[in-house]
Amino acid sequence: MNFLPVTCKGVSANGVEVDYQGQTAVLPVTPRDGMAGKALTLGIRPEHIQLGGGDIVFTVTPTVIERLGANTVAYASLNGESENFCAMLPGSVGIRADAPVATGINAADCHLFDEAGIAFECRVELTEIDMNVINPTAA
């Protein structure tokens, strides 16, 4: 999982509004009391990084690209951090090492952690989950 430092801007019935480098997004998590202004950590899995737009967008410059057939994995340093940022993109994507690429994340795909590393409870509507329904009577 990739970890990004964010700041809590506020809370609402929809979740927690965070700021990442001047961009805000409301993460669908259960808020806690006294969060405004606190430093938090946004977690995003590599498979939830996308090229182009999203609720939060930023540019990365991959240093290593692994083309694995079904996926392309890109590793980058993000904002001078020593920890690698990793994106798993579908298929064979036209990106190159040492060439900047615009990436984005959607708030619904993010996880949020407090200063102690404790995860906030994610709110997921079951109707939004793409589940295959098994029909036991189907032949």
- The DSSP secondary structure of the chain, one letter per residue, reads -EEEEEEEEEEETTEEEEEETTEEEEE-B---TT-TT-EEEEEE-GGG-EES-SSEEEEE-EEEEEE-SSEEEEEEE-TT-SSEEEEEEES-----TTS-EEEEE-GGG-EEE-TTSPBPPB---GGGS--PPP-TT--
Kindly list the domain boundaries of the chain, sorted by start residue. Answer: 2-128
Phi, psi of 128 (to 5 degrees): -90, -10
Task: Determine the average pLDDT of the residues in 39-57.
Answer: 95
Please, which pLDDT band fits residue 18 given cuts at 50, 70 and 90? very high
pLDDT, tens digit, 9 for 90 and up, residues 107-136: 999 999 999 999 999 987 655 555 555 555
Q: Model-level pTM?
A: 0.83
Query: Which residues have C-beta within 8 Å of that of residue 30, sequence separation ≥ 6?
Result: 15, 120, 121, 123
Whole-number pLDDT of residue 84: 83
Q: What is residue 132's predicted lDDT score, i.e. its pLDDT?
A: 53
Are β-strands 71-77 and 62-67 bridged in parallel, bridged antiparallel, or unpaired?
antiparallel
Q: Is the pLDDT of residue 139 over 70?
A: no
Token pair belonging to 41: 């950590």
pLDDT exceeds cutoff 70 at 2:
yes
The Cα 2–Cα 41 span in angstroms is 10
Q: How far apart are CA 73 and CA 90, in angstroms?
A: 9
CATH topology of domain 2-128: OB fold (Dihydrolipoamide Acetyltransferase, E2P) (2.40.50)
Q: Is the pLDDT of residue 138 over 60?
A: no
Per residue in 61-104, pLDDT (tens digit) is: 999 999 998 999 999 988 766 668 999 999 988 899 999 999 99
